């Protein structure tokens, strides 16, 4: 494999957790609920995967457990922000702090233990002859393919189905949606839960591919980068794919430059994704000043029927 192919593969590997988490964030925020708990949800997804996988040895069970646990946490988030109408910023922050504390507590038992297996790869050798990208296809794992499918599925869901229309209506103008007979609270619960599950899977993917053992706080802010990517991708799944791989490439670039014997200390290379996140968001803010940013119009506003002030 040449350098370009290697970098692409590394970008996809490092970008898949970001992509899954960003998609989860998009689903949640399209329904009008701010999702700032991504970091905590990813950690909970990761630790659940590790615990179940190491105890049972069954990967499918581990992924299911991760999805179930994060779905439960998603429902807690939905209960707080939809039913109780609490401050969604603080809810997300609580989710992150609780998730990192609980995952550190639960994960202590398996900290540093290697996982009994890896994600199965889907071999597609017949694609090998295609130049540059052919070699990549044989090396992608199950969750990566799932993330591809999800991008297409979510794009179609949001932009081409009546369900997507309902979702966007709930996020943009819940009062109108309510008048149309759409059950706003039910839809918000559903998408917050589904979004949390995807973010949990992102954590599972992180621990299964990028870092093969559990370590306290192993997501290292990637949940927050995903929160930024949701804005960067303007709540659009296809754009999310490109953005996530761009950041995946940045993430692995530092590591690669270190291997190539770069003179820059590794700590500065590791800062790149964080600094670029800020710079990109600043650029977007500058470029889109005074223009609609694609933000769901009722993002962060709890919907209360008969609210009239």
Partner 1 sequence: MSRQKAGAETLLKPVISPVSAGKSRAWRLEFDAIRVRSPWWTPVLSVLLALLLCAGFIAVNGMNPWTVYAKMWNGAFGTGYGLTETLVKAIPLLLCGLGIAVAYRISVWNIGAEGQLTAGAIAATAVTIYFPEIPAVWSIPLMLVLGVAAGAFWGLLTAIPRIYFGVNELITSLMLNYVALLALDYFVIGPWKDPEGFNMPGSPMFAASLSLPTLGGTRLHIGLLFALVAVLIYYLMIRFTRWGYELRMIGANPVAARYNGIPITRHILLVMVISGGLAGLAGMVEVSGVSHKLMQGISPGYGYTAIIVAWLAKLNPLGLIVSAVLFGGLIVGGYSVQTIGLPSSVSEMLQGAILFFLIAGDMITRFRVRRRSA
* Token digits of residue 68: 């179930």
Shortest approach of partner 1 to residue 79 CB, angstroms? 8
- What SS3 state is found at 121? strand
From the list 59-67, 90-98, 113-121, 143-151, the region that binds partner 1 by CB under 8 A is 90-98
Shortest approach of partner 1 to residue 147 CB, angstroms? 22
Positive or negative torsion for Cα 40, 140, 15, 113: positive
- Residue the block writes with tokens 């609490």: 86
Backbone phi, then psi, for 141, in 5-degree steps? -95, 180
Shortest approach of partner 1 to residue 52 CB, angstroms? 14
Q: Cα separation of 4 and 282, whole Å?
A: 29
Shortest approach of partner 1 to residue 28 CB, angstroms? 15
Rg (CA), the chain: 20
Question: Widest CA span of the chain, in angstroms?
Answer: 64
Binding mask 268-307 for partner 1 (x = CB under 8 A): x-xx--xx-xx--xx--xx--x--------------xxxx
Backbone phi, then psi, for 137, in 5-degree steps? -60, -35
Shortest approach of partner 1 to residue 36 CB, angstroms? 6
DSSP 8-state symbol, 116: S
Instruction: Out of 89, 113, 161, 176, point to the residue binding partner 1 (CB under 8 A).
Output: 89
Instruction: Out of 1, 4, 60, 84, point to the residue binding partner 1 (CB under 8 A).
Output: 84
- What SS3 state is found at 215? coil
* Token digits of residue 293: 């940013």
Of 161 and 293, the one with the shorter C-beta distance to partner 1 is 293
Q: Cα separation of 183 and 163, whole Å?
A: 12
Q: Cα separation of 78 and 72, whole Å?
A: 10
Residues 28-67 touching partner 1, rule: CB under 8 A, are 36, 40
Of 76 and 253, the one with the shorter C-beta distance to partner 1 is 76
163 is a site residue for partner 1 (CB under 8 A): no
Q: Cα separation of 97 and 79, whole Å?
A: 18
Which residues fall within 8 angstroms of residue 258, CB to CB, at 6 or more apart? 266, 269
Binding mask 9-28 for partner 1 (x = CB under 8 A): --------------------
68 is a site residue for partner 1 (CB under 8 A): no
* Token digits of residue 26: 């998009």
Q: Which residues of 256-282 are buried (b: 16+ CB within 10 A; e: fewer)?
A: eeeeeeeeeeeeebeebbeebbeebee
100 is a site residue for partner 1 (CB under 8 A): yes
128 is a site residue for partner 1 (CB under 8 A): no
225 is a site residue for partner 1 (CB under 8 A): yes
Instruction: Out of 112, 131, 261, 265, point to the residue binding partner 1 (CB under 8 A).
Output: 265
Shortest approach of partner 1 to residue 114 CB, angstroms? 20
153 is a site residue for partner 1 (CB under 8 A): no
DSSP 8-state symbol, 83: I
From the list 11-19, 63-71, 142-150, 264-272, the region that binds partner 1 by CB under 8 A is 264-272
Binding stretches for partner 1 (CB under 8 A): 36, 40, 76, 80, 83-87, 89-91, 93-95, 97-102, 104-106, 108, 185, 216, 220-221, 224-225, 227-228, 231, 265, 267-268, 270-271, 274-275, 277-278, 281-282, 285-286, 289, 304-307
């Amino acid at each position: 494999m040449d350098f370009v192919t290697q970098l692409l593969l590394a970008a996809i590997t490092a970008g898949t957790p970001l992509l899954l988490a960003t998609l989860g964030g998009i689903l949640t925020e399209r329904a009008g609920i701010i999702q700032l708990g991504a970091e905590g949800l990813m950690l909970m997804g990761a630790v659940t995967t590790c615990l179940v996988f190491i105890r049972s040895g069954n990967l499918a069970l581990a992924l299911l457990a991760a999805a179930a646990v994060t779905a439960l946490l998603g429902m807690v988030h939905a209960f707080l922000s939809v039913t109780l109408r609490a401050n969604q910023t603080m809810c997300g922050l609580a989710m992150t702090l609780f998730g990192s504390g609980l995952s550190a507590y639960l994960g202590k038992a398996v900290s540093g233990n290697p996982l009994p297996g890896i994600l199965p790869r889907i071999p597609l050798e017949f694609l090998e002859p295609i130049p540059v990208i052919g070699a990549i296809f044989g090396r992608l794992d199950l969750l990566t393919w799932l993330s591809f499918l999800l991008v297409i599925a979510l794009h179609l869901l949001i932009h081409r189905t009546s369900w997507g229309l309902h979702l966007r209506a709930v996020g943009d103008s819940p009062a109108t949606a309510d008048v149309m007979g759409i059950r706003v609270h039910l839809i918000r619960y559903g998408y917050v839960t589904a979004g949390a599950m995807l973010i949990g899977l992102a954590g599972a993917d992180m621990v299964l591919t990028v870092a093969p053992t559990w370590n306290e706080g192993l997501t290292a802010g990637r949940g927050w980068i995903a929160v930024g990517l949701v804005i960067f991708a303007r709540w659009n799944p296809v754009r999310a794919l490109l953005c996530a791989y761009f950041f995946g490439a940045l993430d692995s670039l530092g590591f690669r430059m270190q291997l190539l014997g770069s003179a820059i200390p590794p700590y500065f290379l590791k800062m790149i994704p964080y600094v670029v996140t800020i710079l990109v968001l600043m650029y977007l803010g500058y470029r889109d000043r005074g223009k609609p940013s694609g933000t769901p119009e009722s993002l962060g506003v709890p919907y209360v029927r008969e609210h009239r002030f």
